[in-house]
Amino acid sequence: MPAIHAIFWDVGGVLLTNAWDHTERAAALEHFRLDEKAFHGRHEPLVSAFERGEISLDEYLDRTVFYCDRPFTRDDFRNYMYSLSQAMPEVLAFARALADTSKYFMGTINNESRELNLYRIEKFGLRAVSRLFISSCFVGLRKPESGIYRLAIDTTQINPEHCCFIDDRAPNLEPAAKLGMQTIQMQTMTQLREDLGKLGVKA
């Protein structure tokens, strides 16, 4: 089996909780007492542009929440969005330990809007873990589009068989595997450590 030289991590659902997925959206709708059907009717046409960095968080909120008067402010809503992000402590500590060995090129491949992505990078110290952020909002591509994985390979110039990609969702792993990358579906910390160990990856 080829030695692993690069590890690419999903962020939401692996290193951290999700940023603005259905669970987080549901929590915000309940907290601010917003109509779910009306919100999602406006969210769905925008989510691709939002995660590709084509529209800002303010524009997204203008069109999904603040198209009418609300009894709360934009800052209230934005701060609540940010507060939903939490670390996956064991996984994050393990990823930092791997980064500290300097044996592996560490990067991310993730779908996130620009403002939330930048907040999470800063808040949770992800620059200490990752040398490269292949984030949908920076590159204009989203998982599971094959181009986002190819960009990671082309940018690092590391052959795909020497790369491992970790994600919690199987459909996001399939295009990476087709390009020749090793893949691991994150389920538990114990399972992740074992699966990486089978590839010869140890902190």
pLDDT in tens, 62-88: 999 999 999 999 999 999 999 999 999
Tell me the C-alpha distance between 180 and 162, whole Å.
9
Q: Where does residue 150 fall: left (phi above 0), alpha (psi -120 to 50 degrees), or beta otherwise? A: alpha
pLDDT in tens, 37-53: 999 999 999 999 999 99
Is the backbone peptide bond immediately before 144 cis, with ω within 30 degrees of 0?
yes
Inter-helix orientation angle 22-32/36-43, to 10°: 130
Burial of 149 (0-12, 13-18, 19+ CB in 10 A): buried
Tell me the C-alpha distance between 104 and 177, whole Å.
19
Structural domains for the chain: 6-18+87-198 (3.40.50.1000), 22-83 (1.10.150.240)
Q: In what order do the strands lie in the sheet with 6-9?
A: 132-135, 105-110, 6-9, 163-167, 182-185
CB 200 within 8 A of CB 4: yes
* Average pLDDT score over the chain: 98
